[in-house]
């Protein structure tokens, strides 16, 4: 960024000018204050390079033959402006290499146009897909993401202290928040949307994939193919998504009268898949019929361990399934049985709900629930779902 300077230099006459933030958030030309009588002039080296001042919206308006407010509207997403005016302004801006001053605009509008995204990156390959979808949808509303990455969901309490300092317009939390955290957002007047997280004790906008129903569907398809002994490699203890997926699987197994699954701990990472499978076999004394992993990354680790370390036939002897349909799950060497969350739709819904709060177009809490898409893959023995299971 070019440094803002006085032009002409200080040694020039009193007709020089400096740029200030205009009420529309762009720079405009204001008269330069003259040097007080009797004061020594600021020395200026004849050899010093002269740096041109920043191009302002006033310059663009003059060249385009429009008002300064028209220039401002052309650079404001969703503002009303005719095609002809927009074309003239854009042509003038390009010829002058004009770039709007976002910092100046935020001082006037009292909006930072930044949205905080709090997201846990617990070694889950789903993380970049979620962040990419959110960034695109938030940018659609003329705002930018300020990322707060959490090593684990419990770290959110430390991240919130930083969130308040940046004066964000709103926040989307892809991490678990306590009732007290949600109440603090409300007290500070910061709009909040929870993505794939819920707080039953608070009234707040939420956008979620139905993790319980997704796990129930997976168990139904596996049970219909004859699987009886299930095992679950779950995610971190503080992951509410993992808890919901385990709960859905357990519920459906109970309804079907099948044995309770053996549950072992994991961390959403590749190593947990292999470690979890070996622990399951050790506790059971045999290979289970099916292993459900709380993430695709763990399912891929489980799959590699079964095939390459333990010599287990997948899916002939063991069925392996995961969640999230991350890109590697579709690779030819894996072709994993999994469930895909409609992340693009969920991100769009979260961004829309948040902007509605920011613009004060919504005062009621909304809950948007999406269904997962079943990806059959080739790592599990599946049967068509019977009518009685569809109704269950």
Whose tokens are 């503002």? That residue is 79
**What's the pLDDT tens digit per position in 37-60?**
444 444 444 444 455 678 888 899
pLDDT band at 113 (very low <50, low <70, confident <90, very high): confident
pLDDT at 198: 77
Backbone angles phi, psi at 376, to 5 degrees: -65, -40
pLDDT band at 10 (very low <50, low <70, confident <90, very high): very low
Whose tokens are 């357990």? That residue is 250
> Above 90 in pLDDT, residue 1?
no
**For residues 259 and 271, what is the distance between their CA atoms, to the nearest angstrom?**
27
pLDDT at 90: 94
Tokens representing 369?
């629930």
Q: Which residue has the higher pLDDT, 150 or 338?
A: 338
Which CATH code, of 3.40.50.720, 3.40.50.2300, 3.40.50.10780, 3.30.70.1290, is assigned to 211-340+374-391? 3.40.50.2300
pLDDT at 29: 38
Q: Are 239 and 267 in contact (CB under 8 A)?
A: no
pLDDT band at 254 (very low <50, low <70, confident <90, very high): very high
> Above 90 in pLDDT, residue 21?
no
Stretch 120-131: mean pLDDT, rounded? 70
| Backbone conformation region of residue 349, classed left if phi is above 0, alpha if psi is from -120 to 50, else beta | alpha
111-210+343-371 domain in CATH 1.25.40.10? no
pLDDT at 8: 36
pLDDT at 75: 83
> Which residues in the chain are classed under CATH 3.40.50.2300?
111-210+343-371, 211-340+374-391
pLDDT at 191: 95
**For residues 43 and 23, what is the distance between their CA atoms, to the nearest angstrom?**
34
Which of 134-138, 171-175, 384-388 has the lowest average pLDDT?
384-388
What CATH number has the domain spanning 1-32+50-110? 1.10.260.40
Backbone angles phi, psi at 389, to 5 degrees: -75, -30
Please report, rounded to a whole number, the percentage of residues in the chain having pLDDT higher than 70: 80
> Which residues in the chain are classed under CATH 1.10.260.40?
1-32+50-110
> Above 50 in pLDDT, residue 269?
yes
Please report, rounded to a whole number, the percentage of residues in the chain having pLDDT higher than 90: 59
> Above 70 in pLDDT, residue 122?
no
Which of 225-234, 255-264, 357-366 has the lowest average pLDDT?
357-366
**What's the pLDDT tens digit per position in 54-110?**
888 889 999 999 998 898 888 877 788 999 999 999 999 999 988 876 655 655 556
Stretch 218-225: mean pLDDT, rounded? 96
pLDDT band at 32 (very low <50, low <70, confident <90, very high): very low
Q: Exposed, middle or buried, 304 (CB in 10 Å: 0-12/13-18/19+)?
A: middle
pLDDT band at 115 (very low <50, low <70, confident <90, very high): very high
pLDDT at 386: 56
**What's the pLDDT tens digit per position in 330-379?**
999 999 999 999 999 999 999 999 999 998 887 788 999 999 999 999 99
Whose tokens are 């390459």? That residue is 308
Q: Exposed, middle or buried, 140 (CB in 10 Å: 0-12/13-18/19+)?
A: middle
**For residues 304 and 299, what is the distance between their CA atoms, to the nearest angstrom?**
9
pLDDT at 47: 45
Q: Which residue has the higher pLDDT, 119 or 291?
A: 291
Local structure of residue 327 (DSSP, 8 states): G
């Amino acid at each position: 960024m070019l440094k803002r300077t006085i032009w002409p230099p200080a040694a020039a006459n009193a007709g020089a000018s400096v740029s200030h933030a205009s009420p529309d958030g762009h720079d405009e030309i204001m008269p330069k204050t003259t040097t007080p009588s009797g004061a020594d002039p600021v020395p200026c080296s004849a050899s010093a390079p002269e740096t041109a001042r920043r191009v302002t919206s006033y310059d663009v308006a003059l060249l385009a033959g429009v008002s300064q407010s028209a220039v401002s509207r052309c650079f404001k997403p969703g503002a009303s402006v005719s095609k002809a005016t927009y074309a003239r302004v854009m042509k003038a801006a390009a010829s002058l290499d004009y770039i709007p001053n976002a910092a100046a605009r935020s001082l006037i509008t009292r909006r930072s146009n930044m949205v905080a995204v709090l997201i846990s990156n617990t070694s889950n390959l789903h993380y970049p897909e979620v962040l990419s979808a959110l960034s695109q949808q938030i940018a659609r509303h003329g705002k930018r993401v300020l990322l707060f990455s959490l090593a684990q969901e419990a770290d959110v309490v430390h991240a919130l202290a930083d969130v308040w300092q940046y004066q964000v317009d709103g926040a989307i939390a892809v991490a678990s928040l306590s009732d007290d955290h949600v109440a603090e957002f409300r007290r500070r007047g910061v709009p909040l949307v929870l993505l794939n997280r819920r707080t039953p004790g608070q009234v707040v906008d939420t956008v979620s994939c139905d993790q319980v129903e997704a796990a129930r569907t997976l168990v139904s398809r596996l049970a219909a193919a004859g699987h009886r002994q299930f095992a679950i490699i779950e995610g971190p203890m503080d992951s509410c998504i993992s808890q919901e997926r385990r709960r859905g699987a357990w519920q459906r197994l109970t309804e079907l009268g099948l044995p309770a699954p053996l549950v072992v701990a994991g961390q959403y990472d590749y190593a947990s898949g292999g470690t979890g499978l070996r622990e399951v076999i050790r506790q059971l004394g045999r290979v289970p019929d099916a292993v459900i992993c709380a993430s695709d990354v763990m399912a891929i680790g489980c799959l590699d361990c079964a095939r390459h370390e333990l010599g287990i036939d997948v899916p002939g002897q063991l069925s392996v399934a995961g969640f999230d349909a991350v890109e590697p799950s579709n690779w030819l060497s894996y072709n994993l049985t999994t469930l895909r969350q409609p992340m693009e739709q969920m991100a769009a819904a979260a961004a829309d709900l948040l902007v509605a709060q920011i613009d004060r177009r919504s005062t009621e809490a909304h809950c948007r629930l999406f269904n997962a898409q079943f990806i059959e893959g080739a790592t599990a023995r599946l049967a068509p779902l019977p009518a009685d299971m569809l109704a269950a």
